[in-house]
Amino acid sequence: MPSSTSVDTLVIGAGPTGLGAAKRLNQLNTATWLLVDANEEAGGLASTDVTKEGFLFDVGGHVIFSHYAYFDDVIAEALPNEKDWYNHQRVSYVRRKNIWVPFPYQNNISVLPVEDQVQALEGMIDAAEVRVRAKDAPQTFDEWIMRMMGQGIADQFMRPYNYKVWAFPTTTMQCKWLGERVAAPSLKLSLSNTLYKKVAGGWGPNATFKFPAEGGTGGIWKAVAKTLPQEKLQFKRKVVNIDAKAHTASLDDGSKIQYKHLVSTMGVDYLIDNLKDADQSDVKQLKAAKEGLIYSSTHVIGIGIRGKQPERIGDKCWLYFPEDNCPFYRATIFSNYSPNNCPAEGAKLPTLQYADPTQGKPDSTPKDGPYWSLMMEVSESSAKPVNLQTILAETVQGCVNTELCLPGDEIVSLYHRKFTPGYPTPSLGRDAALSAILPTLESKYNILSRGRFGSWKYEVGNQDHSFMLGVEAVDKALYGAPEMTLESPDFVNGRRNAERRLTPSA
Ligand SMILES: Cc1cc2nc3c(=O)[nH]c(=O)nc-3n(C[C@H](O)[C@H](O)[C@H](O)COP(=O)(O)OP(=O)(O)OC[C@H]3O[C@@H](n4cnc5c(N)ncnc54)[C@H](O)[C@@H]3O)c2cc1C
């Protein structure tokens, strides 16, 4: 017999946003709450898969850069020991014309052929002139690129790379989402580095990062989930609809959960499609507005390789690929992040194929390691289709083309999974859509839709942001507190939030 429960606050989703909401509810300890998730375990898009050979792969390159002390405290509580983490210096390059250009590209054009240096510098000079004369702000991402970096860097790197990442042309994207993520170029620095033939080192917020020793990125969120009362986290429970006026969620097993407050981290498009009994005028408006929300899918392709991590790979962490000699926009040397991302050296695995299959059929007798691994990301959208039958082989070939692999490398594990949606596109229509959707859901139906696809803002869609979107949603629901992350992305991204968010009684 399907059950019926009633709670003060219902949280849908155990990704970082839902866990943020749950952590805050548990900390406040003022009202009843419950979290449900369709998956078998916590993590959402910040999870980690393990291949049958024992290689770990995240949902693409995940690195934590926290803007919040409260988030740091929660992560430190979940994984408190030094041995729980590996610390890394970011070593990141752009691969172009068979050259590894240190990131950020625009500060390191000294390593490019002279004709590219001239083109890049001329473009930067033109752009500086345009910036001085401009009376209005750029509207599209493409205009922003042209104004900040100029034609040379736009054509060499920014346009082709961003098309590969977003799966939509930069002309169809807005530019308000850009905060600290894209390095603002310095013409002086680019010029002097070029003349002195220098390269500029670590840039931006991710110059150093830490990565969990065990379980990949998903290990973090499983550990966070363990700090919560287990009976309040319910997995394999999918919400199939929300009754907007009765404040009731219906689940796929026929049960119902009634709530006073709802923090939903499902995709807001799914929520709208499955909202029952809302006013007809609202349904019409919400459905029309959601058409302005665009996403791309992410294919994650993992390769496990026999042998020591080669010297040509060195201590590289993640690498960007703007050219069309490979389908992926980014590759992560995942074995670099933790030795536990690969099977132990003594694990005996057969060779599945050589990196270049034309090298012949390998001997399939299981042999010892050591092993190393690569993880690639390929985007897909309505504007950029991907052939599911060939993408894996094209990716392996792309690794050979870009010298990530050598033709004779012995591949012992192959992983491919498509995540839909993967990236919330900062499209031109996004902000109008969100301002029609989120306030209506909140003010009329008491639904706080938050998270990477709950509130659809890429600029506050990383793990730390998502977690805090959940925390702040609870404070909004219970106390009417403002939500800094949702409402002021530039503010939260531009500073470090030292706030530790004590409970009201404390
Ligand atoms: C390719 C890629 C690279 C990334 N790189 C980074 C990075 O470098 N650094 C970083 O900090 N972040 C990164 N992120 C972002 C990070 O993964 C997100 O911040 C985070 O996963 C978003 O959390 P969320 O809880 O909002 O959503 P999700 O992780 O999507 O979680 C939503 C949860 O809701 C559940 N759910 C959905 N619908 C239902 C339903 N109907 N019923 C019940 N449950 C439901 C799902 O099962 C899921 O567990 C990256 C993401 C991707 C895709």
The per-residue pLDDT for range 247-264, each reduced to its tens digit, is 999 999 999 999 999 999
143 and 183 co-located in one domain: yes
* DSSP one-letter code for 363: P
CATH for 275? 3.50.50.60
CA distance 14 to 28: 18
309 and 417 co-located in one domain: yes
pLDDT at 505 over 60: no
Ligand 1 pocket test, pick from 237, 417, 425, 452 with the greatest ligand atom count within 8 Å of Cβ, gives: 452
Cβ of 62 closer than 6 Å to ligand 1, yes or no, is yes
Higher-pLDDT residue of 173, 202 = 173
Tell which residue, 244, 266, 375, 361, has the closest CA to residue 316. 375
153 and 253 co-located in one domain: no
The per-residue pLDDT for range 166-191, each reduced to its tens digit, is 999 999 999 988 865 555 578 888 89
pLDDT band, residue 194 (cuts 50/70/90): very high
pLDDT band, residue 206 (cuts 50/70/90): low
The per-residue pLDDT for range 430-451, each reduced to its tens digit, is 999 999 999 999 999 999 999 9
Instruction: Look at residue 209 and tell me if it is in a domain.
Output: no
Q: Rounded to the nearest whole angstrom, what is the distance from the C-alpha of residue 310 to the centroid of ligand 1?
A: 33
360 and 280 co-located in one domain: no
Ligand 1 pocket test, pick from 36, 250, 265, 298 with the greatest ligand atom count within 8 Å of Cβ, gives: 265
pLDDT of residue 394: 98
pLDDT of residue 201: 64
Tell which residue, 438, 477, 482, has the closest CA to residue 24. 477
pLDDT of residue 129: 92
Instruction: Look at residue 358 and tell me if it is in a domain.
Output: yes
Q: Following CA atoms 274, 279, 280, 283 in sequence, which dihedral angle do they give, to the nearest 10 degrees?
A: -40
Give the closest residue (by CA) to ligand 1 atom 14: 462
Cβ of 457 closer than 6 Å to ligand 1, yes or no, is no
User: Could you tell me whether strands 33-36 and 233-234 are parallel, antiparallel, or unpaired per DSSP bridges?
Assistant: parallel
Burial code (b: 16+ CB inside 10 Å, e: under 16) for 247-279 equals bbbbbeeebbbebebbbbbbbbbbbbeebeebe
263 and 165 co-located in one domain: no
Task: Transcribe 451-471 into DSSP letters.
Answer: STTTT--GGG-SHHHHHHHHH
Tokens of 33: 């709450």
Instruction: Look at residue 210 and tell me if it is in a domain.
Output: no
Instruction: Look at residue 377 and tell me if it is in a domain.
Output: yes
331 and 316 co-located in one domain: yes
Domain boundary among 162, 196, 230: 196
Q: Region 300-316: what's the mean pLDDT? A: 95
Q: Which domain holds residue 358?
A: 295-425
Q: Specify whether the CB–CB gap between 383 and 425 falls below 8 A.
A: no
Instruction: Look at residue 115 and tell me if it is in a domain.
Output: yes
414 and 436 co-located in one domain: no
Give the closest residue (by CA) to ligand 1 atom 4: 62
Q: Specify whether the CB–CB gap between 55 and 332 falls below 8 A.
A: no
417 and 305 co-located in one domain: yes
State which ligand 1 atom lies nearest to the alpha carbon of 451.
Answer: 26
Instruction: Look at residue 150 and tell me if it is in a domain.
Output: yes
Q: For residue 49, what is the enclosing H or E element?
A: strand 48-50
314 and 419 co-located in one domain: yes
Residues comprising the chain, all counted: 506
pLDDT band, residue 204 (cuts 50/70/90): low
pLDDT band, residue 506 (cuts 50/70/90): very low
Q: Specify whether the CB–CB gap between 402 and 321 falls below 8 A.
A: yes
Q: Specify whether the CB–CB gap between 49 and 417 falls below 8 A.
A: yes
42 and 154 co-located in one domain: no
250 and 232 co-located in one domain: yes
Instruction: Look at residue 481 and tell me if it is in a domain.
Output: yes
Cβ of 11 closer than 6 Å to ligand 1, yes or no, is no
Cβ of 45 closer than 6 Å to ligand 1, yes or no, is yes
Tokens of 466: 């998502």
Q: How many domains does the chain have?
A: 3
pLDDT at 295 over 90: yes
State which ligand 1 atom lies nearest to the alpha carbon of 239.
Answer: 42
Region label for 181, one of left (φ > 0), alpha (ψ between -120 and 50) or beta (otherwise): alpha
Q: Rounded to the nearest whole angstrom, what is the distance from the C-alpha of residue 44 to the centroid of ligand 1?
A: 4
pLDDT at 499 over 60: yes
Note if the bond before 426 is cis, omega within 30 degrees.
no
Q: Specify whether the CB–CB gap between 440 and 184 falls below 8 A.
A: no
pLDDT of residue 444: 95
Tokens of 191: 């010029």
Domain boundary among 196, 226, 258: 196
Tell which residue, 8, 24, 38, 33, has the closest CA to residue 266. 38
Ligand 1 pocket test, pick from 68, 221, 462 with the greatest ligand atom count within 8 Å of Cβ, gives: 462
Helix (H, G, I), strand (E, B) or coil at 249: strand
Q: Specify whether the CB–CB gap between 14 and 237 falls below 8 A.
A: no
300 and 228 co-located in one domain: no
Cβ of 37 closer than 6 Å to ligand 1, yes or no, is yes
Q: What residue type is 491 in one-letter code?
A: F
Instruction: Look at residue 418 and tell me if it is in a domain.
Output: yes
Q: Region 422-436: what's the mean pLDDT? A: 97
Domain boundary among 398, 425, 452: 425
β-pair partners for 96: 99
